[in-house]
Structure 1
């Protein structure tokens, strides 16, 4: 684990977080061809809210696809599909309208029973790897192809010549890694030139892999990405997924071994890709464990083979779970076994109180606990770590935003699923992590999936999140993983009090409404398909919701209870919208309006039943009406006051959902005019808010008062102008000063005496945040003018 101590459309007025979901778009059926083999033996609420062009999502198929089951491909079939994809890559790139300097490199492929092929590609630009540019092509048999993108931003660079030399980037990376706690830091190899796209816009950069030792003694493989033009550090992420723990026995188990020429036995598992278990007591690389009688360990920590038994058992059980549940042939789906190192030390003579997965060696390393007497080899830890390997081989959830937290959560989800699959009486299946390890010396698990915050304050100074908030983007990944853990528990078991295998659970929901569980097996199926078919390196929680709903639609159909339960489980952790009476409604745009100011507010709803929805309303502010077909509320309010409004949505099946709310109309006119509608300020973009000024003949005053209320992580970097009715631009606020200010509430005096007062004025806000920052969009909350 990364240390085991481990959409929706936003109404104007909503606080909109950054969205990194993998947008999915359709491409012309005749334009894209990838050969497929015959079948052998799809709140954080994530509005886009930024300047990146977001691709429209296709309508999710309403009926389950019986052919959505993943085919168990033979190594030869998988290899053939990848070879076909590689041959077709240039044509595929043209069909996707990629630039002439872009190329696609197949990474993974999955085939459904109906012949649909999902091919995962990495991307290069002018021969440079593009980090955060991955995509998945879904070739649907007999239908249009669709694509899931990690980023839909145009990929182009003014130059591929770095201003910052590689040597300078390497020195900076080593310094950065050391500052982050990496001991004995050294560059694994020379920095490689890349295009960094995970931050939202393509940037020429250097990637340096710094190796060393983490503070807890685990190996360190830190990837530092440096802007090749400015030298700024764009990303600094640890890639060794590690876990704190003490020990857990699995009782008497059968593990795989291989007889050697000398008659002894080696801990090499021939039935699981040749997985090897090594003893790292002599050196960190490990020495293959051997035995004369093929009876390994004695169930006590005093016997050095016992930890090896647990590690081997964890590896084979996790392999079997993925094979039997999803037809996956090993961690990378290529039949290749990993290897495990037990008794791993953080340095000579000092045991590692941890465990980790490392992509670089395709291996797990297990320490013996802080006291050297508690091997960190529990089944859920092993399954968690190896699931990091599965994620790396598929979606590749990266190091930006919420993707690392989602990576951790997926490993927790599958670790729970492996426990229930094994059904080992010595480790009764549950929804807690490391429950028998006594990791913190308090006899408690380190994570609770039914209510993550129950774990309390962690060593990083935070408690796990139960629900999505803006904090999820920047929180420590294991803490933000609580959102995904909670979702999965609710999806599998539902909300409220219950006892499972003797363990008591009581899972609440963000909105206080119940969630019906679908069972662990089906929950795991939905998550696995979402991970391997639809998620990409930049997927966040909003994107995970989209991916799981598409997966649920593929497997069970949008009219199924499973589909609605998936949506409602996400809503229960404050991600997306809930279905009530089969109807889901985006949060209503109900911030105040003002008399004399035209209103255009969109109500958006959907039904899990086929057919369109219709809209009606009661007691809207005078002057406003709602379009029955589109749900658009328009008009100009003509009387101030509070209105007890009700919006009513009806689907084609006759289901009805009523949403009451109080809608306030402010007085605007005379000498004071206000537009209280909130507008999203796109990252590195521009937004304009209009205001009608009526009944004011003559020129505007030389001391016009302009009051602005906005929020942004760098509100000082917002440049504000007033656009007069004749198009004249009147500066209101320039860029700066460069002081961190999350909100701006100011009244400015401007000279508008050269223009007429009457007409449509606009306030224009341009985001001047430096390009190397990747931030949440801000919001122009309201503005007013006093004449």
Structure 2
């Protein structure tokens, strides 16, 4: 969510998650790998510049000194404090400062924000918007109770040997947009695959309910991959030996964890490491050191990033890591706590999990943690995994190692599942099928993505990146055949993998926050593309179209995009007011025209607002034409149904959003015989919501009298409600406008998608 404080923000389409109606082909297709055209709207100097440690420290110190004034200017409360976390400076002097937030000294989880400042102009990207106030910061539930609950939850989620060495800390939980005082307990142990476990469990400090539980050790999956003969960094020691410390990359260290899990530094007499076989313990160390070197160089050369945290500090790699004494780790993982990667030797202890794409994937988790801090809830974990896959592919192409031919497959040589296949295909993720851990990557976004396993949800982002880099359809790259379909069956033109990575990196480091989901990622990447290439560029349209290709947001055709048209049925005798919302990458206003709308409706040429009262029922073969100032047009054709409404039966089939913890009201006009309403008035309601039974439904009579229709409950998972209720309305008159009011009474601890009142009717 971007709140504009001044005129700096670039325009971006709303990040809705529905695809526009397919009705044509994309304009001006571009060849794969061509340099994106930069138009006049691109912000000159939008690319980030490398920061010296002194300059970075200066900017962070300046932000810290100004933090109280910044908080006040943003309208934050007196109990809120901003703490600078990271900073990005563009060539034109624009500074993007990322802040964590506290409330009365308590960390606010999901309260982070980014301030984009250019001179006197400023915009702000919030992880969560909404007033941050608490009635009290005193916990009703003791810390010991929260710790016990967290240990139980972690064990239930599969953490073995669970323990919580540190006491729970009080926090403010803001992930759902509603602040809640909570306890955060860090439970350590071992995951089911043998990886270290660091599970964060958040517990409501008033009720003791577990609000969230998420694993913080980010793991990739693989068994073995070698890069052949490679150059790695080492450092001479005083005794004449060499240590596997890379002096040119922040002193990155590679350790042997086969004896001590903390790791022992690899040393060698002749500075020739490994023999290329798993039987030599140094071979895995070579692969790990090489992966760290290539990943460091990629981020440095392409983006000017000085190490994972952009502070010049090298990380640590631990190879031959065991899940427990004598039991090999069949995985690899990144941990923020030790700023390190741990690589196992596969399930059989003979296949080190040290491939280049795994190394790059893991270290990108570190970059994400140091920047956007993509969280552990909703779609953010899947997006986190996807960005690691994107950058892993980019690193492979950057390294261009003939022993590991660059491709768009994840862990393609590791045979993790014993079927000889990669764990994810970026061109069509579902090709991987159902894995040994019970999931198949998603090709396209669905509303259920927020609830599914992170690596499964990563398929959406992987597919987007492939489409953005290479485009849709069939092609062969480095001898590998790809065939990438799109959700709306329309083609996507790629912009090349280097520029695709540039867009994603800028979006990650400048615009994404801890709560960014795929809709938010679309907005962030469009902003990044507008910065780099301009909002009128082919690259900007390609970003939108690649997202539309995975069912996130709207597609540009002939430079025009539109939200899904509100073409659900209308009803005779019921007033209609529906707006066509469209945009163009060409400057100037849009105009609208329509043909064969339901009789009685018309469209405003300047605003796209369709109004009127349908006079005749039937199916109408309608179309709406949107024209931009450059003369480009886009036609949307559809069948629009007008239902009969009158006599004893009156219906409003217009779809209304039920906001989370909000109210939806739908009017219905009665124009029949006057008199009192019956004592057995039938109210039929059709709605959808994650907890439909938690909706309160009232009928408001023409004179304002409120007639209860449905109380709260029962408390069961019911995603849809289709019911007819009988109410006594004999005390009020029939004639006039009736209103159905639906109130979302879901408890605040649930972060659900908004519901929809699909239609309702009255039978007198």
TM-score interval (norm. to shorter): over 0.9
Summarize deviations over 1:388-433 as a string: whole Å, max 9, x none: 0000000000011100000000000000000000000000000001
Alpha-carbon separation, structure 2, partners of 1:625 and 1:44: 28
The CA deviation at 1:497 is: 0.5
1:20-59 correspondence to structure 2 within 5 Å: 23-28=1-6, 45-46=16-17
Summarize deviations over 1:37-65 as a string: whole Å, max 9, x none: xxxxx998349xxxxxxxxxxxx997111
Counterpart position of 1:299: 276
Counterpart position of 2:437: 460
Alpha-carbon separation, structure 2, partners of 1:436 and 1:182: 29
Counterpart position of 1:408: 385
Alpha-carbon separation, structure 1, partners of 2:452 and 2:350: 33
- The equivalent position to 1:77 in structure 2, one of 55, 63, 75, is 55
The CA deviation at 1:461 is: 2.0
Alpha-carbon separation, structure 2, partners of 1:729 and 1:264: 86
SS at match of 1:579: coil
The CA deviation at 1:695 is: 2.6
**Quick check: 740-749 or 232-241, which moved more?**
740-749
Does the 8 Å CA contact 2:130/2:177 hold for their aligned counterparts? yes
The CA deviation at 1:630 is: 1.1
Counterpart position of 2:103: 125
The CA deviation at 1:260 is: 1.0
Are 2:710 and 1:710 aligned?
A: no
Alpha-carbon separation, structure 1, partners of 2:124 and 2:572: 45
Alpha-carbon separation, structure 2, partners of 1:29 and 1:564: 22
CA RMSD of the aligned region, Å? Answer: 1.4
Counterpart position of 1:433: 410
Counterpart position of 1:564: 541
The CA deviation at 1:327 is: 0.1
Does the 8 Å CA contact 1:136/1:534 hold for their aligned counterparts? yes
The CA deviation at 1:245 is: 1.5
Runs of 5+ in structure 2 lacking a partner? Answer: 19-37
1:215-364 correspondence to structure 2 within 5 Å: 215-364=192-341
Counterpart position of 1:10: none
Summarize deviations over 1:582-635 as a string: whole Å, max 9, x none: 000111000000011110101011001111111111111111111111111111
Counterpart position of 2:117: 139
The CA deviation at 1:380 is: 0.1
Runs (4+) of structure 1 moved beyond 3 Å?
Answer: 42-47
Alpha-carbon separation, structure 1, partners of 2:565 and 2:180: 37
Are 2:735 and 1:758 aligned?
A: yes
Alpha-carbon separation, structure 2, partners of 1:543 and 1:301: 43
Summarize deviations over 1:76-126 as a string: whole Å, max 9, x none: 000100000000001100110011111100000000000000000000001
Summarize deviations over 1:248-305 as a string: whole Å, max 9, x none: 1111111111111111111111100000000001111000111111111011110000
Does the 8 Å CA contact 1:131/1:194 hold for their aligned counterparts? yes
- The equivalent position to 2:152 in structure 1, one of 175, 178, 189, is 175
The CA deviation at 1:446 is: 1.1
**Quick check: 384-393 or 456-465, which moved more?**
456-465
Alpha-carbon separation, structure 2, partners of 1:61 and 1:116: 20
- The equivalent position to 2:458 in structure 1, one of 477, 481, 487, is 481
TM score, norm. by length of structure 2: 0.96
1:149-228 correspondence to structure 2 within 5 Å: 149-228=126-205
Runs of 5+ in structure 1 lacking a partner? Answer: 1-22, 31-41, 48-59
Counterpart position of 2:721: 744
Does the 8 Å CA contact 1:199/1:400 hold for their aligned counterparts? no
- The equivalent position to 1:519 in structure 2, one of 496, 500, 518, is 496
Counterpart position of 2:613: 636
Alpha-carbon separation, structure 2, partners of 1:380 and 1:300: 19
The CA deviation at 1:141 is: 3.4
Alpha-carbon separation, structure 1, partners of 2:318 and 2:494: 38
- The equivalent position to 2:84 in structure 1, one of 106, 112, 116, is 106
The 1:523–1:600 alpha-carbon spacing in structure 2 relative to 1, beyond 3 Å, is: same
Alpha-carbon separation, structure 1, partners of 2:285 and 2:269: 15
Are 2:598 and 1:621 aligned?
A: yes
Counterpart position of 2:530: 553
Summarize deviations over 1:564-597 as a string: whole Å, max 9, x none: 1111000000000000000001110000000111
Alpha-carbon separation, structure 2, partners of 1:630 and 1:141: 34
TM score, norm. by length of structure 1: 0.93
